[in-house]
Amino acid sequence: MPDTSNQVRLRVRYKKDGRLAYLGHLEVLGTINRSIRRSCVPFAVGNGFARRIRLQFSQALPVGASSAGEYYDLMLTQRLEPAEALRMLAGATPTGLAPNAAAYVSRKLPALEAWLNRAAWEVRMPRFVAPHDLDATFSQLRDAGELRYMRGERQKRIDLTSALVGWDVSTEGEDLLLRLDTRSSNNGSLRPQILIDAALAKILPADGDAGPARVPLRVCRTGQWHEEENGNLVKPMPSQEE
Amino acid sequence: MRLRREDLYHRLEPLLGQVEKPSRYLDHEWGAIEEQDGPFHVALMYPDVYEVGLPNMGLSILYSILNKVDGMSCERGYLPWVDMADLMRAHDVPLLALESSSPIASFDVVGFTLAHEMACTNIVEALDLSRIPVRAADRAEDDAIVIAGGPSVWNCEPVAPMFDAVLLGDGEEALVQMCACVSDGRTAGKPRAQILLDLSRIQGVYVPSLYDVVVDDSSTRWGYAVPRPGTGAPEVVLKRCLQDFAGTDPLPHRIVPYMDVVQDRLAVEILRGCCRGCRFCQAGMTYRPVRERPAEQVIEAAKEGLRITGHDEVSLTSLSTTDHSQCAAILHQLNADVRDQGVRVSIPSQRLDSFGVDMAAEVGGSKKGGLTFAPEAGSQRLRDVINKNVSEKDIDVAAENAFRNGWRRMKLYFMIGLPTETDDDIVAINKVADHLLEIGRTVVGKGPKSGVSVSISVAVFVPKSHTPFQWCGQLRLEEVRRRQQLLLHTCPDHAIKISYHDAEVSLVEAVLSKMGRAGFDLIYTAWRHGCRFDAWTDEFSFERWQEAAAELGLDLEDIASTDIPLDRRLPWEHTSPGVSKGFLKREWHRAAQGVTTDDCTMTSCVGCGVCPKLGVDLAIVGDRHAGHQ
């Protein structure tokens, strides 16, 4: 087995916006993998059967959702200056997924996907329900605890008392502006669309057998953090890079 | 009516959240050419969804070439999947090109790839969604000039009414000439009819509207095409053939998709043409002569392509990659150069002999999935009829070599309904499979843990134009089904898995391969009955094709199964790949006698007529070898 002890773990923050908000998670993974190859940074390749780049991502974003801050951890075989690595990666990545910060982190940290367990979201939608109705319905849903919903053919459930940390409903022009704070765990994570669909199903009259029409949302993940056991929020990037 | 050139992405964007795989419609991929300044604008369309069309080598080549021409810009277009197409109609959004999101109907030239017969209703769908009149005859003066080209032009009569011009053969130089001809004509204010006449003067360009279809005693019921008096159009349009293939850009494949596409890898075309002479194979007749790229060019292009695209796999593509005279050297060197980066080198198919397996071992490294071979016929007699120059010994040695090299699963492609086929030939398919299973069990060991398995995939033979079997009828459906059952019931071992192609799809394919210009009414009527994406199993509806045929008083099975006497004029004779009719007839007679014909790249000229007719020659960079290494 090759010696991997000299490998370093580079954390990269990138955005997902514009047209590329419509990429699915696997499409983002594939695109960033190829961007890394194009960039010529000294990436490490795993020793497994498929010989993949040693790379980990933060939690999947829904198709159509944009983000101000997504992350990946990339193992490098040489320690480049973070600014140089960032320049190389940015030059090889489509604009809609452009990286905008990079820093080395400890190799001992847990995998990003599990470690980043808190997220903030901003959701814009047409204002056809009253803000206070939506606010009150979110309270009801959280007080009820478990939320059941369908994902394809399968019924899924999520505990809102843990997953829905907080929210704020306001208006901006013709839009409703929602800010949500969510927490993920081994039991799942809460997607804004699920919560809003459930709330609107309570507020709006059902549209025949088809149920309420799905409302067009503009969803953006505005931030991600690690929540320590005492409730402190830790930023993903070391502070000097923020 | 020509639509205005304007960016309509804002009309498409609200639909993206409502469809499967929105990444089909996004554009902005790495390597896409976003500067589309024109002023002459060309849209190249692949008549299927993005993930099928994007990897197409022909379109990549032409996109790259046209965008380098001063004053010309070229964009891509694909057919939206049914969900998006229906939404676009509901929201009054015309079909858009990817790069500029402007309507396809705003372009100067719209070119379609004729990939295969089963895409024909998709061309109607694409034109209709674009709001370009489907029939060329209905187009207005300023409408786009709609052209076509690609592997399936060799009986283009059934789709010909949709095209202003069809290019036969290699497009590298010819397409630029065609676009320049249209551009110059428009600049000079020439009427559309004059531009079409001008196009017909370019070698390789067929302008259907300049030909009348004549049905008489010398023809089939579909007639033959003759130039209209006074047009000066050639009686026979000869294909374009690029002699200096090695002088072309080996790396046109530069767009890196976001989504998974059907061939999700870098492709380098390492040779063009195949002269093995399989008598059922249209590509083998129509892409002659063989032209190879030198090893150094292939290796450098592959490495450069990997660097600029970031792909982790490179495929060395062609009709018969392992026939390249420097195949072993290319694979060996390339593997050595890229292996450390976790990059895989692949080849699209294996030659059925020991050398083929050695090459598969070279590219597979430690990864041993399944190995695929195409004996095509079960008995040696029938393999000789179809000129598949593979002996039983070749198959045995290849299989033993494969099992010894670590492969456990073997997949074999066969056809049923080949000319002269008997029940003995069907049973022989099982015997081949059983024999390979036995070899595997001898080499690897018996029992389920050995993992040895053989699967058979059986297609139905479709007679194609410009092949020695072009005069054959297709086996009738009932007989196809009887032979499929015979194969199933004589299968000697549960470890042999048998799968079939849908005989009804092959029947429609045969119909569209045999009909003349009258076939367009069938295609258009089928589309009106809801046919689109006929190459997709879940979308194909034989009932709709039958309804369309019934409406026109046609019998699909009759059309497909009718033999054509050798002395008849054929509906496709006015479009020629250069292979002489005499050669095809000779090959047909040799087939009937079970006499094989050599590959001219490995022995000597077999007299197909292509080189003298087109003024070209084989371009082989090393020494080719037919047998074992």
Percent of chain B with pLDDT over 90: 86
Mean pLDDT on B312-320: 93
Mean pLDDT on B134-138: 98
pLDDT of residue B389: 87
Count of the separate structural domains present in chain A: 2
Does A35 contact B26 at a Cβ distance shorter than 8 Å? no
The domain in which residue A182 lies consists of 118-234
Same domain, A143 and A221: yes
Per-residue exposure over B199-222, b if at least 16 CB sit within 10 Å of its own CB, e if not: bbebbbbbbbbbbebeeeeebbeb
Mean pLDDT estimate for chain B: 94
| CB nearest to B310's CB, from A22, A38, A64 | A38
From chain B, the residues in CB contact with A51 under 8 A are 342
pLDDT in tens, A54-73: 999 999 999 999 999 999 99
With tokens 């990059």, the residue in question is B343
Over B49-112, what HEC string results? Answer: CHHHHCCCHHHHHHHHHHCCCCCEEEEEEECCCHHHHHHHHHCCCCCECCCCCCEHHHCCEEEE
Establish if A151 belongs to a structural domain.
yes
- Single-letter residue type at B9: Y
Same domain, A200 and A217: yes
Closest CA to B254 of B73, B30, B28, B24: B30
pLDDT of residue B355: 79
Establish if A69 belongs to a structural domain.
yes
B495 — pLDDT class (breaks 50, 70, 90) = confident
pLDDT in tens, A177-202: 999 999 999 888 999 999 999 999 99
Q: Is the peptide bond before B468 cis (omega within 30 degrees of 0)?
A: no
pLDDT of B238 above 90: yes
pLDDT of residue B366: 57
User: What residue spans of B294-353 are helical by DSSP H?
Assistant: 295-309, 327-338
- Identify the three-state secondary structure at position A25: helix
Same domain, A22 and A111: yes
Establish if A3 belongs to a structural domain.
no
How far is the alpha carbon of A43 from chain B, nearest alpha carbon, in Å? Answer: 9
Same domain, A22 and A54: yes
What the block records as the tokens of B295 is: 């090893």
How far is the alpha carbon of B336 from chain A, nearest alpha carbon, in Å? Answer: 15
Same domain, A108 and A147: no
Same domain, A19 and A111: yes
Establish if A2 belongs to a structural domain.
no
Measured distance CA(A27)–CA(A96) in Å, rounded? 13
Does A38 contact B30 at a Cβ distance shorter than 8 Å? yes
pLDDT of A242 above 50: no
Measured distance CA(B478)–CA(B235) in Å, rounded? 40
pLDDT in tens, B346-363: 888 777 777 777 888 777
pLDDT of residue B629: 34
How far is the alpha carbon of A239 from chain B, nearest alpha carbon, in Å? Answer: 32
CATH code at position A79: 3.30.70.580
Q: Is the peptide bond before B14 cis (omega within 30 degrees of 0)?
A: no
Same domain, A28 and A90: yes
From chain A, the residues in CB contact with B10 under 8 A are none
CATH code at position A186: 3.30.70
pLDDT of residue A240: 53
Same domain, A129 and A228: yes
Does A34 contact B28 at a Cβ distance shorter than 8 Å? no
pLDDT of B183 above 60: yes
* Final residue belonging to a domain, choices A50, A81, A115: A115
Residues of A with CB under 8 A from a CB of B: 18-20, 22-24, 26-27, 30-31, 33-38, 40, 45-46, 49-53, 63-64, 92, 94-96, 216
pLDDT of B628 above 50: no
Best residue in B23, B366, B368 for a mutation probing chain A (most A CBs within 10 Å): B23
Does B258 contact A19 at a Cβ distance shorter than 8 Å? no
pLDDT of residue A210: 47
How far is the alpha carbon of B369 from chain A, nearest alpha carbon, in Å? Answer: 12
Mean pLDDT on B184-210: 98
Measured distance CA(B410)–CA(B375) in Å, rounded? 12
Alpha-carbon distances of B366 from A63, B33, B369, rounded to whole Å: 36, 38, 10
Establish if A239 belongs to a structural domain.
no
Closest CA to B461 of B526, B385, B548, B349: B385
| CB nearest to A34's CB, from B28, B256, B341 | B256
pLDDT in tens, B257-282: 999 999 999 999 999 999 999 999 99
Residue A146 burial by CB count (10 A; 0-12/13-18/19+): exposed, middle or buried?
exposed
Same domain, A20 and A108: yes
ipTM: 0.89
Residue B149 burial by CB count (10 A; 0-12/13-18/19+): exposed, middle or buried?
buried
- Single-letter residue type at B621: V
pLDDT in tens, A8-49: 999 999 999 999 999 999 999 999 999 999 999 999 998 776
pLDDT in tens, B519-560: 999 999 999 999 999 999 999 999 999 999 999 999 999 999
Establish if A170 belongs to a structural domain.
yes
Establish if A169 belongs to a structural domain.
yes
* Final residue belonging to a domain, choices A70, A86, A115: A115
pLDDT of B627 above 60: no
* Final residue belonging to a domain, choices A45, A80, A115: A115
pLDDT in tens, A98-108: 999 999 999 99
Same domain, A123 and A152: yes
Does A45 contact B26 at a Cβ distance shorter than 8 Å? no
Measured distance CA(B192)–CA(B97) in Å, rounded? 23
Same domain, A109 and A13: yes
Same domain, A151 and A111: no
DSSP string, B227-296: EPTTS---SSEEPB--S-GGGS-S-----B-SS--TT-SEEEE-EE---S--TT-HHHHHS-S-EE--HH
Measured distance CA(B268)–CA(B55) in Å, rounded? 11
Measured distance CA(B86)–CA(B533) in Å, rounded? 14
How far is the alpha carbon of B22 from chain A, nearest alpha carbon, in Å? Answer: 6
